[in-house]
């Protein structure tokens, strides 16, 4: 290899590294360093003494209850998002709907999957709150009082429904390529061999799609488990989930022990980390099946 070619390759390598440098710096400053700081802080007192007390305090009834509520909300919203999102993705990919519906739904899903926080909480309060548009409409036009049934937007059910607003479109966005990956030859081969539609889905399609379905559900679980802005704006402190408890702990509103907040964050990192690792592993399996 000539010197000129070697110099060109070296310059190109430098340019390539410069291209990824902003992302690496961003990840280092806002992900890796803060995570390392939280992990280390979980094992120290505010005075700087090494301790395991913060980790042991995670098993107190209040904190365990917060984790359990967060897990239930995350599981319920991910399950609902997976079922409804799968139905929508199946309808636009395999259901024979017009192409404009697919493009419109995918565009909406791209927007809705990122619509969260205070705007989403306000939208649900304005729609399903005690004086919300839908609540008042059903009461005045149909004589049906939604809140007389025991429904409360500022509760477990209300928060789950709110989370599903961005869980469903996220499921659609991720699962649509997996459904597109189902080859027509597989369906034709199963029909030639005499398989019914149910047998095709049970014995061919679902085993191939199952890693994608389960992996995306785990991603939805992690997505809901770490959400705080929507929950805090919607329920305040009325629902004791981990992100809200963590927020109050680090601010010093509870026991003035921010290091216990670091331990709470460490527990969240472990749970979401396991979910994301399983999602990546299942996605790799799904991609290997579809090649």
Q: Measured in whole angstroms, how far is the alpha carbon of residue 159 from the centre of its chain?
A: 14
- This prediction has a pTM of 0.85
pLDDT at 170: 93
Domain assignment present for 16: no
3-state secondary structure of 15: helix
Domain assignment present for 199: yes
98: left (phi over 0), alpha (psi -120 to 50) or beta: beta
Please compute the mean of the pLDDT values over residues 51-65 and round it to a whole number.
Answer: 90
CATH number at residue 109: 1.10.3720.10
Q: Say if residues 90 and 179 touch (Cβ distance below 8 Å).
A: yes
CA distance linking residue 291 with residue 288, whole number of Å? 5
pLDDT at 10: 64
Domain assignment present for 19: no
Alpha helix segments (H runs only) across 129-196:
133-142, 156-180, 184-192
Task: Enumerate residues 6+ apart whose C-beta is below 8 A from 243.
Answer: 70, 226, 227, 228, 231, 232, 268
CA distance linking residue 163 with residue 153, whole number of Å? 12
CA distance linking residue 182 with residue 186, whole number of Å? 8
Number of domains in the chain: 1
Q: What is the largest CA-CA distance in the chain?
A: 85
Domain assignment present for 159: yes
Going by C-alpha positions, the residue among 286, 261, 283, 268 that lies closest to residue 67 is 268
193-219 pLDDT, tens digit each: 888 888 888 888 888 888 888 888 988
Q: Say if residues 54 and 42 touch (Cβ distance below 8 Å).
A: yes
Domain assignment present for 87: yes
Domain assignment present for 21: no
Q: Is the pLDDT of residue 183 over 70?
A: yes
Q: Tell me which H or E stretch contains 130.
A: none
Domain that holds residue 85: 63-290
217-259 pLDDT, tens digit each: 988 998 899 888 888 888 877 788 888 888 777 766 555 678 8
Domain assignment present for 2: no
At residue 20, what are phi and psi to the nearest 5 degrees?
-90, -10
DSSP 148: G
Domain assignment present for 13: no
pLDDT at 83: 94
């Amino acid at each position: 290899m000539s010197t000129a070619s070697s110099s060109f390759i070296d310059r190109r390598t430098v340019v390539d590294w410069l291209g990824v440098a902003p992302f690496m710096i961003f990840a280092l400053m806002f992900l890796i360093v803060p995570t390392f700081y939280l992990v280390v802080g979980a094992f120290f007192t505010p005075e700087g003494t090494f301790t395991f007390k913060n980790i042991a305090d995670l098993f107190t009834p209040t904190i365990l209850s917060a984790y359990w509520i967060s897990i239930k909300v995350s599981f319920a919203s991910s399950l609902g998002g997976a079922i409804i999102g799968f139905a929508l993705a199946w309808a636009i990919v395999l259901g024979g709907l017009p192409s404009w519906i697919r493009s419109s739904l995918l565009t909406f899903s791209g927007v809705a999957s990122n619509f969260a926080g205070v705007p989403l909480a306000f939208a649900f309060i304005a729609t399903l709150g005690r004086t919300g548009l839908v609540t008042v409409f059903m009461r005045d036009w149909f004589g049906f009082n939604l809140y007389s049934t025991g429904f409360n937007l500022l509760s477990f059910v209300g928060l789950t429904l709110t989370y599903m607003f961005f869980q469903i479109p996220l499921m659609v966005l991720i699962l649509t390529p997996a459904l597109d990956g189902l080859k027509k030859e597989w369906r034709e081969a199963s029909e030639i061999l005499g398989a019914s539609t149910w047998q095709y889905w049970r014995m061919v399609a679902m085993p191939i799609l199952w890693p994608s379905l389960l992996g995306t559900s785990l991603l939805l679980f992690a997505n809901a488990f770490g959400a705080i802005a929507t929950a805090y704006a919607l329920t305040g402190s009325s629902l004791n989930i981990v992100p809200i408890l963590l927020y109050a702990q680090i601010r010093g509103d509870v026991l003035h022990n921010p290091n216990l907040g670091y331990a709470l964050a460490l527990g969240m990192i472990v749970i979401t980390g396991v979910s994301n690792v399983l999602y990546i592993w299942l996605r790799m399996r799904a991609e290997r099946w579809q090649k």
